[in-house]
């Protein structure tokens, strides 16, 4: 198989033996693999793969078809269209994954485009539902809302009956974000004027958190930090936090065990995949690149100012 490899920060294409699936696992021929901030951090040596996953091959999400099935796998067949999240190794022609973490790709969804669904939507769903406990009618703020996780969070919030505010630097994306389900769109300086918020999905990090988010919280608000591109260290006014009786938590998916990832995949299959199949939610894609164009794809990712996902078309 061919795989994208990180060698001291340099991206190269390498040839590796195609692995065979062990018990409970499947081999997937990858069609699409979405890029994520974690890939950029891994390239810089700041986010190593968890134990048991390829140390040099990035990629946390994929879509494709099942090519081989290991012992003790039920419910899946060779040729099935699937997608899922892994601890690494998805940016390759093949990936091994636990069968229980797979999700089925609806026939109505392009298979390559589906490679931009698993990480973004699973991250957003887990943050909103399992960490933020969003209720219908509550006010949800999504910062950094134009990226892959942000566009997913807006749509999930709408599906759950929340009033969604999208925060972006580039207000030219207003119509796009409203089309996804945002009730309002503001820039970071305008967050305080449109609060307070019951749940905040913080995708930017320290700069956003301290500039306006923590001054825009409703009583008993829940802030979930899942992105730190705008800084990982913040000085927090604890008196304000005490006054609102709010909570701040953080979340990542990569290092979670198979059982927890399987539970999230099952919840996604029940609550989000039907909406994906009928078009109630979509996967915005800003660009596709071939595996041999990975350098350009990574460069486009770090440029920012993108709406939706960048996908390696394998």
pLDDT, tens digit, 9 for 90 and up, residues 184-234: 999 988 888 888 999 999 888 777 777 778 888 999 999 999 877 777 787
- Domain termination residue (choose one: 199, 217, 250): 250
pLDDT at 39: 92
3-state secondary structure of 106: coil
Predicted confidence (pLDDT) at residue 239 exceeds the cutoff of 90: no
pLDDT at 240: 79
**13 is in which domain, residue-wise?**
2-117+254-313
In which residue are the tokens 């995708």 written?
A: 203
Q: Is 305 left (phi over 0), alpha (psi -120 to 50) or beta?
A: left
If one counts the domains in the chain, the total is 2
Residue 157 and residue 302 share a domain: no
Rounded to whole angstroms, how far apart are CA atoms 10 and 309? 22
- Between 15 and 308, the more confident residue is 15
Residue 130 and residue 246 share a domain: yes
Residue 73 and residue 186 share a domain: no
Residue 124 and residue 68 share a domain: no
Q: What is the pLDDT of residues 145-190, one digit of tens each?
A: 988 899 999 999 999 999 999 999 888 889 999 999 999 999 988 8
pLDDT at 51: 87
pLDDT at 47: 85
Q: What is the pLDDT of residues 274-314, one digit of tens each?
A: 999 999 999 999 999 999 999 999 999 988 778 889 999 99
pLDDT at 235: 77
Question: Quick one: tokens of 167?
Answer: 């925060």
Residue 138 and residue 70 share a domain: no
Residue 165 and residue 57 share a domain: no
Centre a 10 Å sphere on the Cβ of residue 110 and count the other Cβ atoms it contains. 13
- Domain termination residue (choose one: 218, 250, 282): 250
pLDDT at 189: 87
pLDDT at 117: 96
Among 76, 96, 72, smallest CA distance to 86 is for 96
The predicted model gives 118-142 an average pLDDT of: 95
């Amino acid at each position: 198989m061919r795989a994208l490899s990180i060698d001291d920060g340099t991206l190269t294409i390498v040839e590796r033996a195609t692995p065979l699936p062990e018990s409970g696992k499947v081999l997937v021929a990858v069609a699409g693999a979405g890029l994520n901030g974690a890939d950029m951090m891994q390239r810089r040596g700041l986010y190593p793969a968890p134990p048991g996953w390829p140390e040099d091959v990035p990629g946390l999400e994929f879509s494709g078809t099942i090519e081989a099935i290991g012992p003790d796998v039920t419910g899946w067949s060779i040729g099935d269209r699937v997608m899922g999240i892994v601890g690494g190794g998805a940016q390759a022609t093949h990936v091994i994954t636990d069968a229980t973490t797979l999700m089925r790709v609806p026939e109505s969804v392009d298979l390559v485009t589906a490679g931009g669904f698993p990480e973004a939507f699973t991250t957003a769903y887990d943050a909103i539902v399992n960490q933020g406990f969003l209720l219908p009618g509550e006010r949800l703020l999504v910062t950094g809302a134009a990226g892959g996780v942000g566009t997913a969070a807006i749509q999930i919030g709408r599906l759950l009956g929340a009033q969604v505010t999208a925060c972006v630097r580039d207000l030219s994306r207003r119509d796009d974000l409203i089309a996804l389900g945002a009730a309002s769109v503001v820039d970071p300086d305008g967050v305080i004027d449109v609060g307070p918020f019951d749940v905040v999905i913080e995708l930017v990090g320290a700069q956003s958190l301290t500039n306006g988010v923590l001054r825009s919280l409703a009583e008993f608000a829940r802030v979930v930090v899942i992105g730190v591109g705008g800084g990982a260290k913040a000085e927090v006014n604890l008196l304000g936090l005490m006054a609102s009786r709010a909570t701040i938590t953080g979340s990542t998916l990569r290092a979670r065990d198979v059982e927890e990832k399987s539970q999230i995949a099952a919840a996604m299959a029940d609550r989000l995949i039907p909406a994906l199949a009928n078009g109630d939610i979509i996967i915005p894609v800003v660009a596709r690149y071939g595996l041999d164009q990975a350098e350009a794809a990574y460069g486009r990712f770090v440029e920012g100012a993108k709406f939706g996902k960048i996908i390696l078309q394998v």
